[in-house]
Structure 1
Amino acid sequence: MRKLWLTCSSQTTAILGALLLLPPAPAPRGEHGHQPKQHSPPAARGGLAESLPPAAGTWHPTSAPCHPSPHLQPGPCSQVLRLLNLGWLPKPPGRAATPGPGFPSLEELCLAGPTCSFVSDEALGRLLHSSPNLRLLDLRGCARITPAGLRDLPCRELEQLYLGLYGMSDRLTLAKEGSPLLTEKWAHTLRELDLSGQGFSEKDLEQALAAFSGTPGGSQPALCSLNLRGTRVTPGTVSSVISSCPGLRFLNLESCRCLPRGLKRAYRGPEHVQRCLEQLLTSPASPS
């Protein structure tokens, strides 16, 4: 199996259990020949909702349900895994489970959903513990994922990272620190970065985006798409990242409260991005 796309269906729980865990070893039978009760795999519940805004330059979610076999097992050649619009529910920790074989060849993982997801660092680690070749990671809506959890992933050459929180930031207590952990690890390879709706502080974002000005060997950063919608990014930080990333072709500054009036919009194309830089350098520093 090289690709798996999964939207919510009646077999979601069984499929996720097969993906996250090794098949349980046969348990010894009781004295009357009855099979002892087994712990069930982590449950997932979901409903198809409106599609998320598509990540720049990647896939477009589909709402057509699929019905693969509940006995589906991960394979070493799996390269794309997309579990769309799933509402994961936490379960109390039970008996320790043996990690599955994982996805050694995985290059793309999408766990995006339009509502707040309960996907945790622990669940993400179990999926990606053997995936050093990951290139695209889409966690839009996964508000419980932390920068520290992402830093511990084995992939070192991530190119596309989507952490946007759409229409839910006002209902959550978001981390104000930690974004530098992401760029310190992946600034040399990231081409697309989505931090929209995240609650990182002005100083934290400044430190994170400064990583693009110090890529190894003095080479130009690969960053070409940056979504900062609804964040607390400051004019100085935006100016710095534009100056450091000459290949930047998309920049979303909508609803950025710390920016001056007239600059809070999306810029598409290198000419418009450079025009944004010119406006930042000549506009008053105070936001409005």
Structure 2
Amino acid sequence: MRTLAQKVFDVEIASLQEVASRLDASFEEAVNTILEVKGRLIVCGMGKSGHVARKIAATFTSTGTPSFFMHPAEAFHGDLGMISEDDIVLLISYSGETEEILKIVSYLQHSGNAFIAITGNSNSTLARNAMHHLNVKVTQEACPLELAPTSSTTATLVMGDALAIALMTARDFTPDDFARFHPGGSLGRKLLARVKDNMRTDRLPFIEPGASFAQLVICMSEGKLGMVIVGTADAVEGVITDGDLRRGLVKYADIHHMPITDFMNGSPIFIEENELVIDAEALMLERKITTLLVRDDSERVTGVYQIFNQV
């Protein structure tokens, strides 16, 4: 089974290299045409091409090119009303002769909407009538029966990704733009979230400077943050991490009888609670630390942010 799987990978990789070698000026022209459109990019495909078209439309939308999928069979039962005069259409059909797709061609020509075609047949009806044609012809499908679309659908998907990335680059689409479109995803939360939204605020492990070693150990264990804050929220004198504690045990034979301020870090790193999470984590990476004390506008400690709490 592993040998068979390897063959599938080999065939599909070879197919992608084959398609990539045929990229020509039509690709650049297609990108520039989409960039000039005032409306949306509507993606349409039937069967397996339809499944691929849905994913391509989703990728366009999330990377700065407004887009949606239109089912060709539903198009002639009212969904053609989705297409406005400012829209451009991307039609996908490997054969270039899919009946439902060709019906849409006639409508688009009548309404004056430009359309781009992705096919595996440059002499097909769809390719010959398109404003721009992107050729995804493959020599071999990975299916041993040469029946199930495999290499061809992979090539189509990658062509869609190539268009999306080219458009994304041309539009100067930034990580912040991506985050705005993905507020529910991990990247979006990291780029948009504030420290105050992700910090620990309850049961903060404050300890008096005059506390005993035993009280320090108990406070650190109960706080479950791997550290304690020496002082109060309004007057922090320092922090002691579990690392400071371990190093102290090695360095000082009589640490159990020493003032805890003798082995605390008297210069903790603070961050404002309205700072972005991504900036907090950049600071921690720069300082090679995993914990920040969070303070408000009055410089009062209101929480603790730790890198393993990242969203």
TM-score, normalised to structure 1, is: 0.22
TM-score, normalised to structure 2, is: 0.21
Instruction: Compare CA radii of gyration and give the structure with the larger one.
Output: 2
Q: Which has more strand, going by share of residues?
A: 2
Q: Which has the higher contact order (CA 8 A, sep 6+)?
A: 2
Q: Which has more helix, going by share of residues?
A: 2
